[in-house]
Amino acid sequence: MSSRSTGRRARPAYPVLLLLAPALLAGCAPGDRPAAAPSTVWDAPSATATADQPAPATAAPSASPAGPSTSPSRAPLRRVFPVRAGKVAYHPTHSVYPGTDIFADCGEPVVAVTDGTILEVSRVDRFDRRGPLGPYNGGLSVSLLGDDGVRYYGSHLSAISAGVDAGVRVRAGQQLGKVGRTGNANNVCHLHFGLSPKCTGRDDWWIRRGVVWPAKYLDSWRRNGNRSPVAAVTSWERENGCPKAPRATTNAG
């Protein structure tokens, strides 16, 4: 080989590679090709629920940095009017002691005012006009200890719903019985309604019949309001405790 040929520089093969590039790329499998650049647009999942997939839960808003960290609060306890009827009437006052007579047709549903536990149920009318007046005046009756600590009492019922027994949990609006005229109801269809604290360990019918005037609460519940008797009942209990039964009682309801 001559010195002329050995001193000549080899030319680069770039033009050949450029010509072969389309053919090489055409022979690549799809999985071998470079991945496309990720899209910068993110589609949020649909919030519409289907039969197989419920709607995604909405994240709770974060607490304000300036405010204290608190756990989620419970929904307020719901209260409803104790008689489910289109035609009802009641007085803001009651004879002898705080309570309310709610007048409605016999057979109209009597319902739980709020969520709670049944305390006492009287399914037998033991009232006798020859006495004693008081303990059995209510006839068929139900008392409910609400989850708010207030005892809600209804009496003179014509019937008590099956399954409504002491210790049973009920929900606001659940039927407890029917309006009637048992006990000392003077033959008039109505529900005697009373608010009181629970006095444990004694037959406290004189407290159960009512110690706080209910009319303003009934007014609220009838308008779908939720006025609470808790403060009034708690205040009465703080001042009076669980007093003994009076010697002579009438219209005990």
**pLDDT above 90 coverage of the chain, percent:** 57
Which of 122, 127, 129, 201 is CA-nearest to residue 154?
122
Q: Is it the case that residue 131 has pLDDT exceeding 60?
A: yes
Q: Residue 170: enclosing H or E segment and its boundaries?
A: strand 169-170
Q: Is it the case that residue 196 has pLDDT exceeding 50?
A: yes
Cα 145 to Cα 166: distance, rounded to the nearest angstrom: 10
Helix (H, G, I), strand (E, B) or coil at 109: strand
The pLDDT of residue 143: 97
Instruction: Pick the more confident residue, 82 or 58.
Output: 82
Kindly state the average pLDDT of the residues 182-188.
95
Kindly state the average pLDDT of the residues 162-181.
98
Determine which of 9-23, 106-120, 230-244 has the lowest per-residue pLDDT on average.
9-23
The pLDDT of residue 238: 96
Instruction: Pick the more confident residue, 238 or 6.
Output: 238
Q: Is it the case that residue 227 has pLDDT exceeding 80?
A: yes
Amino acid letter for position 6: T
Instruction: Pick the more confident residue, 62 or 88.
Output: 88
The whole-model pTM stands at: 0.70
Token digits of residue 146: 């609400």
pLDDT classification of 72: cutoffs 50, 70, 90? very low
Kindly state the average pLDDT of the residues 48-72.
39
Top-tier CATH class for 89-240: mainly beta
| DSSP 3-state percent helix, strand, coil across the chain (nearest 5) | 15, 20, 65
Q: Is it the case that residue 187 has pLDDT exceeding 50?
A: yes
The pLDDT of residue 149: 97
Give the CA distances from residue 105 to residues 75, 102, 132, 177, 179, in Å, rounded to whole numbers and listed in that order. Answer: 34, 10, 28, 13, 7
Q: Where do the structural domains in the chain lie, given as residue ranges?
A: 89-240
Query: Cβ contacts of residue 139 below 8 Å, gap of 6+?
Result: 122, 125, 126, 127, 155, 156, 157, 180, 181, 182, 183, 184, 185
Cα 111 to Cα 117: distance, rounded to the nearest angstrom: 13
Kindly state the average pLDDT of the residues 119-145.
93
pLDDT, tens digit, 9 for 90 and up, residues 13-56: 444 334 444 443 344 333 333 333 333 332 333 333 333 333 33
Instruction: Pick the more confident residue, 67 or 162.
Output: 162
Which of 154, 162, 149 is CA-nearest to residue 120?
154
The pLDDT of residue 208: 95
